[in-house]
Amino acid sequence: MSDNDLSNIKIPEAIRPVRPRRSVLYVPANNERAMQKSLQLPSDVVIYDLEDAILPAHKENARETLRAFLKEKFPNGIKDSKKEILIRINALSSPWGSEDLIAVRAIMPSAILLPKVSEADDIIEVNDALVEMDTPHELRLWAMIETPRGILNVASIARYARTPGTRLDCFVAGTNDLIKETGVIPQQGRPYLSNWLSQIVLSARAYGLDVIDGVYNDFKDASGFERESLDGRAMGFDGKSLIHPNQIDFANEAFGIKADALNEAHEIIDAFADATNKDAGVIQVNGKMVERLHLEMAEKLVEKSKLISN
């Protein structure tokens, strides 16, 4: 699907779940001990991985292990989970992707994480398959942007989030694959990745998507992880993908909602709720000019804060 095709699509008002996504923990789907522990950890999201974490010879067993685990833990469905539960499947073009999708349709997690999304058609293919399986719209899609083509097409991929019937909610930066496929040398501060990461953030924000930063591989290097988390927060990411439970607490802190930001959000909401401002597009709050778009941002922030508190 080209940009010209997308330009002819009517863009509806996007309605997506508001969820805290500060900490997004990957867990191999064949590690039963880690999966058991993951549900007790304070991460906002857990991703059970059938893709990179699983060797080809173990793919089918991992799928069945995950299916049995989630059926045991959530006999009435994933909706009973307090955290978002995702499954990263293998690409449909792989030998395992179709069976992964059938299994996920039966499990009904919060969302499916699609690997190596390089163009909007990669998402459309999965979305169409889910429609054919009469899948409830509550099953959402996240997309990993982790290839050079994915970076080049990231704006058109994000635009697909505004098409009728879309399930796309979130981007995840796949920094390890980007480094591998481009030959960029990983360095502190990510100087040669930052431009691409900013493109992912900008495209996500343009079309109302959440966006998650890539992993920090050295889980024993706490100070390095903290620097990169703060860098990602400053860049505009909603949260960080994690490879170890030790990284959860700081990710929750770095991408959490600060008290002053929450107070300001309440002030904006209260100001627009005042009868004298009901028809105003722009008002003044604490010496700042505030528009209706800031009201929408404030309401989303307060809703996230309530979810975190619960």
- Residue with more model confidence, 9 or 58: 58
Question: So where are the chain's domains?
Answer: 3-254, 259-309
pLDDT of 112 over the 50 cut = yes
Q: What is the pTM of this model?
A: 0.89
Rounded distance between C-alpha atoms, residue 110 and residue 47, angstroms? 10
Least reliable range by pLDDT among 128-142, 196-210, 270-284: 270-284
- Give the confidence band of 13 by pLDDT, cuts at 50, 70, 90: very low
Q: Under a CB-based contact definition with an 8 Å cutoff, are residues 101 and 129 in contact?
A: yes
DSSP state of 159: H
Bridge-based pairing of strands 84-88 and 111-114 is parallel
- Give the confidence band of 126 by pLDDT, cuts at 50, 70, 90: very high
Report, as an integer, the average pLDDT of 121-131. Answer: 97
- Give the confidence band of 15 by pLDDT, cuts at 50, 70, 90: low
pLDDT of 180 over the 90 cut = yes
pLDDT of 65 over the 90 cut = yes
Least reliable range by pLDDT among 81-95, 164-178, 191-205, 280-294: 280-294
Residue 23 sits at φ, ψ, to 5 deg, of: -130, 125
3-254: which CATH topology?
A: TIM Barrel (3.20.20)
Q: Under a CB-based contact definition with an 8 Å cutoff, are residues 298 and 265 in contact?
A: yes
Q: Under a CB-based contact definition with an 8 Å cutoff, are residues 151 and 119 in contact?
A: no
Q: What is the pLDDT of residue 87?
A: 98
Nearest to 175 by CA among 186, 167, 188: 186
Average pLDDT score over the chain: 92
Write out the two tokens for 222.
């706490």
Helix axes 59-73, 97-107, angle to 10 degrees: 0
Instruction: Return the residue matching tokens 């505009």.
Output: 236
pLDDT of 96 over the 80 cut = yes
- Residue with more model confidence, 271 or 157: 157
Write out the two tokens for 52.
């990179």
- Residue with more model confidence, 132 or 280: 132
Q: What is the pLDDT of residue 8?
A: 44
Q: What is the pLDDT of residue 7?
A: 40
